[in-house]
Amino acid sequence: MTTDHRGGAPMPRPESPTVRRIMLGIRLRALRTRAGVAADDAARHIARTDSTISRMETGQSSVPARVLERLVELYGATPDETAQLTELAKAARQRGWWQRYGEVLHPGFELYLGLEAEATEMHAYVSEWVPGLLQTAEYAHAVLSVEPRPPSDEEIQARVEARLARQAILSGDDPLQYWVVLDEAVLRRAVGGPGVMADQLRALASLARRRNIKLQVLPFSIGAHPGTCGSFTLLTLDLGDAAVSEYAYVENRAGTLLMDKMPEVETHRLAFDSLRAQALSPRDSIGMIEKIAADLGETERLGA
């Protein structure tokens, strides 16, 4: 659950329309399979292409009410199934909180945010920056200011606000379980200058003491390791009676890649397991973070 900052009362984590689309797609595919209807036959029935059926069944696009009516009729859905799917489709058409920032978010990132909003667990290896869920406002501003095509001040501020809004999933009665392995380079890179970085590291050490956050540092001394290909995130979602889904997410300058096929997800999970096994313990990691923060604080003091 999250907290209503106006009154301090606990609030349930909001349902993600992205996840509702995925659940709807899973159930539609199950109904189609049960009915023995081929995807191309379903597409012809609703006067759409095969790719439309695929996009609806994978949660990449919403299902209009009239299309849903025709599909459940074709698939022979029971009245109870039809009612459940209708409610799910309505929820899937709602707007997520992040969509107000759609104009300033990178293409493809909204889909990731929809999954992140309802993930039960996330595991991440990060080699460049402190992950967005753990960033301070000042650090986030510094990161966003150095893109190849620098956004305007207004765009940067909007993206910082979106980044901070994401962090609500780490708090409340039902917080995300978050396990992060940070490359030591992330700690040594003085983003925003010594003062901003020292504050970020102190915040990081504090967050690492929360029961739902586990943070480990992968030291330089490890040498070559499975994370040398870059950062990645694993997300686990409980989709109720539909399934438990796992995704692997990779982001770089060229774009984003969200993977849900088991071989791809398993490859990233094995890499994460290897990285966490080689990383410092959570206690030793906090010690390193605090030591670097203290050194940066001294650097700032001497430079004042």
DSSP bridge pairs for 282? none
Total number of domains in the chain: 2
Q: In angstroms, what CA-CA distances link 34 with 26, 83, 156? A: 12, 18, 49
pLDDT in tens, 101-116: 666 677 667 778 888 8
Which domain does 297 fall in, by range?
Answer: 99-303
In a domain? residue 276: yes
In a domain? residue 11: no
| SS3 category, 124 | strand
- Residues of the chain with pLDDT > 70, as a percent, come to 88
Residue whose C-alpha is closest to residue 132's, from 99, 168, 183:
168
Which CATH number do you get for residue 285?
3.30.870
> Contact at 8 Å (CB) between 123 and 277?
no
The model scores a pTM over 0.85: no
| Residue 142 and residue 161 in one domain | yes
pLDDT of residue 150: 78
pLDDT band of residue 231 (cuts 50, 70, 90) is very high
In a domain? residue 264: yes
Please say whether the dihedral angle defined by the alpha carbons of residues 90, 92, 98 and 101, taken in this order, is positive or negative.
Answer: negative
What six digits make up the tokens of 124?
């991440």
Domain boundary among 72, 92, 112: 92
